[in-house]
């Protein structure tokens, strides 16, 4: 009786049979962050404390989640993870639940939050050749977000309400936004690179020299160290293309 009931209930798990095959990306986006982050008194539009907590949460994921992302790219409250392999028999329901749950928990720990936050999640199937194009898209969104964030908070600083600032920005072109913030002492081309280009997290092989006491010889080993790259290249440049090619190879 119970066995039949278990079988029936498991068959009602409607997404359990949906799978994804590598390579693919998982993009998670923060939701409900405003109330939680306002309690921290973070600087607007960017605060390095929040960015560092996001990146440290990614590093915690690399070390502790049991999953094996090739690398991750983050800006604002968004993270894209890239995978060539995945456990859980490739089941999307597992991937889409475990990853945002882990990052939500890790971020709350790193920021010592008093209010709960969460992330939504989506899985994006990609060919190897698509990863570069995906990153071009997300980095362009990083730049767009960078421009609009500075412009919005510049206008808010002049006394405009949230709605008034958003309405004024709605029809402004990029060059007009640049001029607006420049008049208030901000050169968007000289803001920190992580604000303009995002942040990469990946494992980097490093050669270490040690000593083998049994053989009494010097030995060299390779170890993977997790790197936080706060100054990544623009991906559409040759340097950027080569970096992404190296990461996905």
180: pLDDT confidence band, cut at 50, 70 and 90?
very high
Residue 235 has pLDDT above 90, yes or no: yes
In the chain, the percentage of residues whose pLDDT exceeds 70 is 100
What confidence score (pLDDT) does residue 226 get?
96
Residue 82 has pLDDT above 80, yes or no: yes
Contact at 8 Å (CB) between 120 and 96? no
SS3 content of the chain, % helix, strand, coil (to 5): 50, 20, 30
On the CB side of 130, how many CA atoms lie within 13 Å of its CA?
A: 10
Mean pLDDT score of the chain: 92
Domain at 12-131: CATH code: 3.30.70.3000
* DSSP-assigned states of every residue in 7-20: HHHHHT-TTTT-B-
C-alpha distances out from residue 85 to 25, 55, 81, Å: 11, 22, 12
13: pLDDT confidence band, cut at 50, 70 and 90?
confident
| Model confidence, pTM | 0.90
**Residue ranges per domain, the chain?**
12-131
Residue 9 has pLDDT above 90, yes or no: no
Using one digit for the tens of pLDDT, what is the confidence trace for 122-179? 999 999 999 999 999 999 999 999 999 999 999 999 999 999 999 999 888 888 999 9
What confidence score (pLDDT) does residue 197 get?
98
Instruction: Report, in angstroms and rounded to the nearest whole number, the Rg of the chain calculated over CA atoms.
Output: 22
């Amino acid at each position: 009786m119970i066995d039949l009931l278990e079988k029936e209930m498991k068959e009602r798990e409607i997404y359990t049979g949906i799978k994804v095959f590598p390579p693919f990306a998982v993009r998670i986006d923060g939701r409900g962050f405003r109330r939680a982050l306002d309690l921290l008194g973070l600087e607007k539009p960017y605060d390095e404390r929040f960015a560092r907590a996001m990146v440290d949460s990614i590093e915690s994921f690399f070390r502790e989640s049991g999953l094996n992302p090739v690398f991750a790219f983050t800006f604002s409250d968004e993270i894209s993870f890239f995978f060539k392999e995945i456990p859980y028999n490739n089941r999307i329901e597992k991937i889409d639940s475990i990853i945002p749950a882990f990052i939500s928990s890790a971020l709350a720990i790193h920021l010592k939050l008093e209010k709960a936050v969460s992330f939504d999640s989506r899985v994006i199937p990609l060919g190897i050749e698509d990863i570069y194009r995906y990153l071009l898209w997300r980095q362009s969104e990083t730049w767009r977000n960078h421009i609009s964030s500075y412009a919005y908070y510049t206008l808010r600083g002049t006394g405009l309400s949230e709605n008034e600032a958003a309405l004024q920005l709605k029809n402004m072109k990029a060059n007009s936004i640049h001029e607006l913030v420049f008049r208030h002492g901000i050169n968007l081309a000289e803001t920190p690179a992580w604000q303009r280009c995002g942040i990469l997290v990946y494992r980097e092989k490093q050669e270490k020299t040690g000593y083998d006491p049994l053989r009494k010889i010097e030995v060299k080993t390779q170890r993977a160290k997790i790197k936080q790259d706060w100054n990544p290249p623009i991906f559409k440049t040759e340097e950027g293309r080569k970096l992404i090619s190296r990461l996905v190879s």
